[in-house]
Amino acid sequence: MININISDSATKLNSLNRRMFILATAKIIILGGIVSRLFFLQVKENKKYLTLSDKNRIREWKLPPIRGEFQDYFGNTIAGNFEAYQLHIIPEEVEDFRYVIYRVKELLELSDKQFKKIVKKKNEIKPWETLIVADNLSWEKFSKINNHLYDLNGVKPVISISRDYPYKENFTHVLGYVSQANENDLLTNENIKEKFVPGLKVGKTGLEKSFEQKLIGSNSVERYEVNAYGRRISQLAFQKGDKGETIKLTIDTKIQELTNELLKEKAGSICVMDIYTGAIIAMHSSPSFDPNSFVFGISQDEWQLIRNNPMKPLVNKSLSGNYSPGSTIKPIVALSALENEIIKPDFTVQCRGHKNPLELYGQTYHCWKKEGHGFVNLREAMKQSCDTYFYEVARRLGVDRLSVTAKKFGLGQKVFKDVFDNEKNGLVPNTEWKKNALGRNWVLGETIITGIGQGFIQTTPIQLCLMTAQIANGGYKIYPKIVANDDNQYADKFTPLYKKSRNIKIVQDAMFSSTNEVRGTSYRSRLDDPKYRFAGKTGTSQVKKITERDRELDLKTFQIPYEERDHALYVAFGPYKSPRYALSIIIEHGGSGGTVAAPLAKKLFKMIIDRHEIRKNYDNKKYLDI
């Protein structure tokens, strides 16, 4: 019995030890497996997991980039940045949010509507995200908040950078304005999408929009360590972004301000151009509005006021206003006729006034002057703006030859190519155009009225300015520019647009007579000092066909309803001795060019020519503060 027992326990022990040995071997293998797994994860794949771990814990916050500035020719900032006083709250840092927000409401005198909006916004964000309570506080309210900070735990007064237009409505149509980026901006512009942060402001119109890529700058980046719930734990790095480029324009703020003043209470446009460089000295469309209103979002009332204004402040009339040029086309008609050798300067026509209109193929064509101009040659006809003369010239010239010259001088096509997205083409008609566009044949009567700038022909004020500039510089092609360091080199710059330079001289002389000789249409607006003397051509473009009844009534401008009054136009260049600047003026529904538009040119030229010295000196790097 005992023996059996011993052998039995020996068997059991043997089996136990054998199995222990088997298991020990297995354990060593398994341990090897675990160690190799550790090796694989921690040594071989370490880089991959280190990256993943950093991705987990490091998060970047983009800050809004600082927008580049616009400067005028003399380096004055015309669109800059200012420090906006804002009020931020991080809800989780506030002990008693209800108390604080009511206290803020009280201090800032918020309306219930604004207050509800803020509370709604608070409920949409995470408690550690910033709630912007006010984005542009006045200094009084900002300091009031600062004085009560002891009572407002968690409220942060913040100074942030925002857009500022110091000259208010002066540059609105040139620069455009900025406002909060919307979905459309993100979809159409990759750059905006890439740099987007809530509250980012982007250009909506004008140069602000065209030069978005250069202006936007690059985001500053804050790198934070965050925990699993996205809360910031500590700041790891701050990478400063670059400010957007500063863009220098060719515009002279003083002259721009004068144009704004001259067009006050009127609808219209003034463009001033350097006739050699093509630099835009001033370009204004009236009425204008204050672009600062848009930076923080415009109020509904203000927006409706701008939108519903019958004078259309939102339209940049200099570039997108299509007007019949009226008599301002006459220099081109005359030039075209001379160039094509249709007439000689001594070609004479008898004008018998609109009592005895010109009759052609059953239609009658009236001159503006009741009594008529008698026998007039080219110079005389330009001087007194005789319509009858130009009817006859146009009839002989034909619209196709006229359109060639007109297009050559810049009419009927965009002046700034793609710099402004709202620029219009205008229209210089010819027989082919009518056939294609309207499907009807050109009739001679249309040629005749085209000769005095009526009918199909449409031009923008900037086109008229360019046309005048190219006549003034002796007939050479120029490319207008508004950005000072625009280095685009055009191969055909300064190529002659004439066949005989004498013809240009004749037209220039005729324009001179129109302003500086007795019976000239803008004689009353002349400047006698040879230093300032300028030459120009008036224009009065009809908005509505003049009936026989109108002619009999012969009403004064103010007696006619506003919408039916003529547009007043004037194009000019000066100083006459050695021309340097050209301008175009248009006053919508202003009346006659000679009485409404031309007097503005008188004031403008005085300043333009005075400031020419300053501009020249500035070119020679002599600093001058204006």
Q: Under the criterion CB under 8 A, does residue 197 sit at the interface with another protein?
A: no
Find the shortest distance in angstroms from Cβ 60 to another protein: 16
Stretch that binds another protein, among 26-34, 116-124, 196-204, 552-560 (CB under 8 A): 26-34
Subset of 228-267 contacting another protein (CB under 8 A): 228-229, 233
Give the 3-state secondary structure of residue 194: helix
Q: Which residues of 501-518 are buried (b: 16+ CB within 10 A; e: fewer)?
A: eebbebbbbbbbbbbbee
Q: Which is nearer to another protein, 46 or 239 (CB)?
A: 46
Stretch that binds another protein, among 5-13, 88-96, 358-366, 492-500 (CB under 8 A): 5-13
Subset of 359-388 contacting another protein (CB under 8 A): none
Evaluate whether 572 touches 535 at the Cβ level (below 8 Å): yes
Q: Under the criterion CB under 8 A, does residue 227 sit at the interface with another protein?
A: yes
Q: Under the criterion CB under 8 A, does residue 45 sit at the interface with another protein?
A: yes
Tokens 């978005």 correspond to: 212
Annotate 464-510 with DSSP letters as a single string.
HHHHHHHHHTTSB----BSBTT--PPPTTTT-B--S-HHHHHHHHHH
Euclidean distance between CA atoms 313 and 266, whole angstroms: 11
Find the shortest distance in angstroms from Cβ 46 to another protein: 4
Q: Under the criterion CB under 8 A, does residue 20 sit at the interface with another protein?
A: yes
Euclidean distance between CA atoms 160 and 200, whole angstroms: 12
Q: Under the criterion CB under 8 A, does residue 38 sit at the interface with another protein?
A: yes
Q: At what angle do helices 387-397 and 399-408 cross, to 10 degrees?
A: 100
Euclidean distance between CA atoms 95 and 100, whole angstroms: 9
According to CB under 8 A, which one of 6, 25, 30, 499 is a site residue for another protein?
Answer: 30
Find the shortest distance in angstroms from Cβ 484 to another protein: 52
According to CB under 8 A, which one of 1, 2, 3, 43 is a site residue for another protein?
Answer: 43
Q: Under the criterion CB under 8 A, does residue 546 sit at the interface with another protein?
A: no
Q: How many residues bind another protein (CB under 8 A)?
A: 39
Count of beta carbons in the 10 Å neighbourhood of residue 250:
23
Residue 82: enclosing H or E segment and its boundaries?
Answer: strand 77-89
Give the 3-state secondary structure of residue 366: coil
According to CB under 8 A, which one of 6, 25, 50, 438 is a site residue for another protein?
Answer: 50
Q: Which is nearer to another protein, 20 or 187 (CB)?
A: 20
According to CB under 8 A, which one of 6, 25, 49, 344 is a site residue for another protein?
Answer: 49
According to CB under 8 A, which one of 6, 17, 92, 546 is a site residue for another protein?
Answer: 17
Give the 3-state secondary structure of residue 188: helix
Burial of 490 (0-12, 13-18, 19+ CB in 10 A): exposed
Q: Which is nearer to another protein, 236 or 546 (CB)?
A: 236
What tokens were used for 410? 């810049």
What tokens were used for 376? 């007039």
Stretch that binds another protein, among 40-48, 169-177, 452-460, 557-565 (CB under 8 A): 40-48
Q: Under the criterion CB under 8 A, does residue 223 sit at the interface with another protein?
A: no
Euclidean distance between CA atoms 477 and 508, whole angstroms: 16
Find the shortest distance in angstroms from Cβ 220 to another protein: 24
Evaluate whether 122 touches 91 at the Cβ level (below 8 Å): yes
- Non-local CB neighbours of 155 within 8 Å, separated by 6+ positions: 87, 88, 89, 94, 100, 104, 133, 145, 149
Q: Under the criterion CB under 8 A, does residue 15 sit at the interface with another protein?
A: yes
Find the shortest distance in angstroms from Cβ 192 to another protein: 30
Find the shortest distance in angstroms from Cβ 198 to another protein: 24
Find the shortest distance in angstroms from Cβ 413 to another protein: 58
Stretch that binds another protein, among 46-54, 106-114, 180-188, 309-317 (CB under 8 A): 46-54
Evaluate whether 285 touches 422 at the Cβ level (below 8 Å): no
Stretch that binds another protein, among 37-45, 301-309, 415-423, 429-437 (CB under 8 A): 37-45
Q: Under the criterion CB under 8 A, does residue 159 sit at the interface with another protein?
A: no
Q: Which residues bind another protein (CB under 8 A)?
A: 8-9, 11-13, 15-17, 19-20, 23-24, 27, 30-31, 33-35, 37-39, 41-43, 45-46, 48-50, 52-53, 56-57, 225-229, 233
